[in-house]
Every structure is written in C-alpha cells, then in structure tokens.
Structure 1
C-alpha cells in the first residue's frame, strides 16, 4: 500500500459530507473528474473500496465508514494545526503566564480570568500561585508576563493597574485567649505566630506582620494559615474576606487595636514597563483595566 495524500483524503471527506462527486467538486472548487480520480486513486492505494456506487447516490461501504471516521479525526487536527499556525504568524501568544499572589480574592479573580480566556481559544493560560515576594521575583526574572499581587508603585520597572484592597486583621481563636479581653504584643509573644512562607527563590527575605520574639510557624498559603488559627494552633494576620463568617460566628476574634493594628494592602495587576507585550497580553491588560 502506497502512502496516500491529504488532498485525496479531503476529496473523500467532501464526497461523503456532500453526498456526491459533483457537490464535492463544487465545495472544493475542483473539477468533477479531479475529485473522481482522487477517490479512485485512494481506493487503489488502500486496497479496498470506500464507496458503493451501485445506487443513485454514492454510499459508504462498511470499510469506507470505518476509514472515514478515522480520517475525520486527522482532518480536524490538520484544521487545528493550520489555525494555530495562522495565530502564530499573526504574533499571538500560544501561552500566557500569570501569577496570583497569596492574598488576592481568588474566586472573583479566577472568574474574571476564566471569562477572558474563554474568548482566547488559541492561547493557554499557565497559572502560578506565589507568596510574599515570590510574585515580583517571577516577573523580574522574566518567568511570567503578569502578576496579581502587591508591588511598590514607585518602582520604575513596573506599570500597574489598581485592582482592589484587602484588609489584614490580627486574629486568634477564642480558646487561646483564656478569658482575657485585652491582649497585646506582650501576651502574644508567648504564643505561636503563623506567618506566610516566602516562595521567592533568590530575593532577600521579606517579613510582614511578624512580632519580634514570638515563636513562628510558616505555611504556604492563606487557607492553611486560616486552618491553623481556627484550630487554636497559632494566631496570625488574615485577609478579612477570608474570615468574615468566622468573625461573625465568634469562631475567631479580631485583635486589632492601638498596640496591634491591622493593615490595608492594595493589590494590583503589574507587568514590566519596558517589555514587549503580545496581542493577547495587551487584550488581557485592557480587560482588567475595564473590569
């Protein structure tokens, strides 16, 4: 059996889908004899008949039906490959890499990203989750195109879009208070403080909300920190949006006060200012700007 060509497969598929040689020829903008010859050549190369020509309309043989099902998969993949090549030639990115920082409101943010990438079928989202100084390090290293996290807005290397703010509250499980109403840094130093682990690989370590002298445990994300605090294994600062129900139900107590203030953190979408951004990255930037 000799190798058959994509042209012959396309002619065969057109005959099956169109219901005849003449209709297939019109669909492919070829002559009737050219399509007829392509099918005959394909049958000779395969060694079996694809079409039953005994009736008024051509019909698939049993072998032809089986072969057509497999051929359709190949032709679909060819179509996808051509579309992908066209998008690459137009300069569109095949992958867009984005970092979500540790305290961003994830459900709403993931919903926005899902909505955007549903309109970009030829670009795959590659999503990373980093904490503390990890997001900025990934951006400055050129590993990703965009981060959603806190940044120094005065950094001339960056351009950014305001996305929102998050209130961080120092909280503790009531079981650790032992009936005390007023508790400050002096009392908390005897208790374990839960802090975020910095996911940066080579940047100088950055500490947020750490209390000097207090024993510490580290966790990779805010959800794990919440679980430790809820179970009375530690106290720590948590984003308000993550603990509103627990505060309202009395399962956590807010320690905010003059001695232990909370803090509002702004989070942004940020990218490198001097980097060339592809068309999909630009569309995502405008989408976030409008949102």
Structure 2
C-alpha cells in the first residue's frame, strides 16, 4: 500500500516551483490550507521533513531535495501515461501536428500528407514551418507531436531521416558568374549573401558560412529563394528548390574553388513513441518510403 498519493507529490512540487505555499495556492488554484495539509500529510506518512522556514520563505531540506528529483520524474511519467491512454482512444487520433524545417522538400511533404489524409479522411493536420532549431522548440513546448529538424532533441526519440544537399547559387547575370576563374570565399565576401534567421525564440542557432560583409537576413527560405532568383544576392540553397529554378534559368550554380555543395542531416524527432497514434505512424511510414526518391546534387549539376 502506497503511503503517499500522486496529488500530494504534485502539491509538494507546486510549492517548490512557486517558491512558497501562498504562491503555490495561486498557481494551482487551491486554498493555501489545502496545500499545507497535503504537504504535512506527505511528511507524516514518509517520516521526513521536506521544507524548513527561512523568514517568510520556505526552502527544501536535504531530504526534500532528494525527493524532489524523484517526484519530478514520477509526475512526468504520470503525465506520459495519461497521454498514452489518450492515444489509445480511436477518437483521439483526429489531429496530427507536425513542425517541419523549411529545407525539407515541400512537394515530397505534400504527397506524404495527402496519402496520410487519404488513409484517415477525418484527420486534421497542422503544419508548422520553421528554420533551424525552431521545430524542436515547438516540440519541446508541446505544440506539435513530431518535428523534422536539423538537430536532434536531448530527451526523446531521434531518427536520422535524410541528408539535404545545398548548392551555392546566384542568378546567371550575377557578377560572380562573370569571373574567368573559380569563385573563392574571398570573392564571396565582396557581394551580398542572403541568409535565413532561426525561427526559435529561445535557443537560436547559426549554420553554414556567414562570412560576407554584406548580408540580408530573412525569416523564410522562400523569401531567400525569391531574392536570389531575382539577382539580389547568393546563397546555398537546397537542391529540391534549386532544380526547377535552374531549368527556368533563374539560378545557376557558382563555380566554387571548394564548398560548392554542402549537406545537412535532418532528423525525425518526437518525445514518446507510445503516444503516437495510427495516423502519426502512417505518416512516418509514408515519409520513409517517399524519401527514397529524394533528388541529389549530382543530378542537378549534371555530374
């Protein structure tokens, strides 16, 4: 027979998180006396002292600090258990929320989403497009069920999904194409580079070469592609975006001394596989199959 209830552990952690009994009462919308009673009963049942008074504030005892770590884990697992129970209910699998890095090939993504929708006609799909660490931030905040991201997550599941190749390009009339020799990084510094801002709000990251003296920073990949195809700069762009624009002679690969092609590994990330419903699993399966047809830089460049 357990000596303590989950609710008592929740009240204990609420006091710690809020910094006191009065603050905890406001945070969890309970009376201060009920929180006092829950914590006192927890202490009496376990035979430990969890808090000590320091003026008007309370602080954890050494025993309380040890139990807080265990209580946090216990409450997290209880929350996961409830999410798993919800996912087992067929009625719960009516929504699929996905965060996708904008470098992922959109046409391929649309095809996969359409196949999943055909299999689950009443499924509502929410697609959140992001840059760099933005997808993982949405996942960590619980705003999406899974993320296709350029970075793995620390606490959860990470699957190597695919390599996205980037090619250095500019409009065919750009001065960098008029040189009679290969383009060096020193040459690049003299012209405008278009880069994309990380969409994460907290843990922002930079990626790629950022050595140009002139730089335009934009929020979306499509903005970068549009600017470059109209002659306003150069950038390394994903091969799936470059291919149709090269056919229309709006973009041309830069003849670089080195570094013309770069690669970024994308990950499929989610927190707990047990919480994924049938639609999410179908999407993942369709995604893996579709990636077999991902275009390569060598095909675009004719090598």
Global fold match (TM > 0.5): yes
Aligned residue in 1 for 2:173: 175
Aligned residue in 2 for 1:83: none
Q: CA deviation at 1:107?
A: 0.9
- For the Cα contact (< 8 Å) 1:185–1:211, is it kept in 2? no
Aligned residue in 2 for 1:233: 232
Q: When the two structures are aligned, how many residues end up with a matched partner?
A: 202
Question: What is the RMSD computed on CA atoms of the aligned residues?
Answer: 2.7
**Alpha-carbon displacement from aligned partner over 1:76-129 (angstroms, at most 9, x marks no partner):** xxxxxxxxxxx9954533322111211111112111111112222333111111
Q: CA separation of 1:122/1:176 partners in 2, compared to 1, >3 Å: closer, same or farther?
A: closer
Aligned residue in 1 for 2:263: 264
Structure of larger gyration radius: 1
**Alpha-carbon displacement from aligned partner over 1:34-63 (angstroms, at most 9, x marks no partner):** xxxxxxxxxxxxxxxxxxxxxxxxxxxxxx
Aligned residue in 1 for 2:58: none
Please state if 1:192 is matched with 2:189.
no
**Alpha-carbon displacement from aligned partner over 1:2-24 (angstroms, at most 9, x marks no partner):** xxxxxxxxxxxxxxxxxxxxxxx
- For the Cα contact (< 8 Å) 1:91–1:279, is it kept in 2? no
Consecutive unaligned residues of structure 2, counting only runs of 5 or more, are: 1-86, 291-303
Q: CA separation of 1:199/1:147 partners in 2, compared to 1, >3 Å: closer, same or farther?
A: same
- For the Cα contact (< 8 Å) 1:138–1:144, is it kept in 2? yes
Q: TM-score, normalised on structure 1?
A: 0.61
Q: CA separation of 1:286/1:92 partners in 2, compared to 1, >3 Å: closer, same or farther?
A: farther
Rounded Cα–Cα distance in structure 2 between residues aligned with 1:269 and 1:117: 20
Q: CA deviation at 1:224?
A: 1.7
- For the Cα contact (< 8 Å) 2:96–2:280, is it kept in 1? yes
Q: CA separation of 1:230/1:279 partners in 2, compared to 1, >3 Å: closer, same or farther?
A: closer
Aligned residue in 2 for 1:50: none
Aligned residue in 1 for 2:33: none
Rounded Cα–Cα distance in structure 2 between residues aligned with 1:89 and 1:224: 41
